[in-house]
Amino acid sequence: MMVARYTGAALGLFAFGLATLSGLIVGNPAEVILSRALWALVVFCVIGLTVGAAAQMVIGEYEVQQLAASLPQESDGAADLDDDIQVAQAAGDLAAGGSAASDLDVPEG
């Protein structure tokens, strides 16, 4: 949630500064400048928190997607394991005097 906090703080501070400067430039009284600047701070802090939370969700989903893409697929390992099991069973049958061709569906000849 740090992205949301930083975004909210940055946007709130920016809005506060902009409202203060614009109030000073036009010559408003100090009470009006500060009240408008505080309202801008609160409103833009909430907007920044919302945008930051959305950004954090996007970043989190991207990280999960990249992690899933970097891990080996289970189906590949399962197929290799099944092949190894068949080979081991055929080797065991050969050692016992059986025929490997019948177990692995290999034509004899």
Summarize pLDDT for 91-104 with one digit per residue, the tens. 666 555 555 455 55
**Domain locations along the chain:** 2-96
pLDDT score of 100: 47
Give the pTM.
Answer: 0.59
- What tens digit of pLDDT does each residue of 31-78 get? 999 999 999 999 999 999 999 999 999 999 999 999 888 887 665 555
CB 52 within 8 A of CB 4: yes
Q: What is the pLDDT of residues 12-39, one digit of tens each?
A: 999 999 999 999 999 999 999 999 999 9
**Residue 13, pLDDT score:** 96
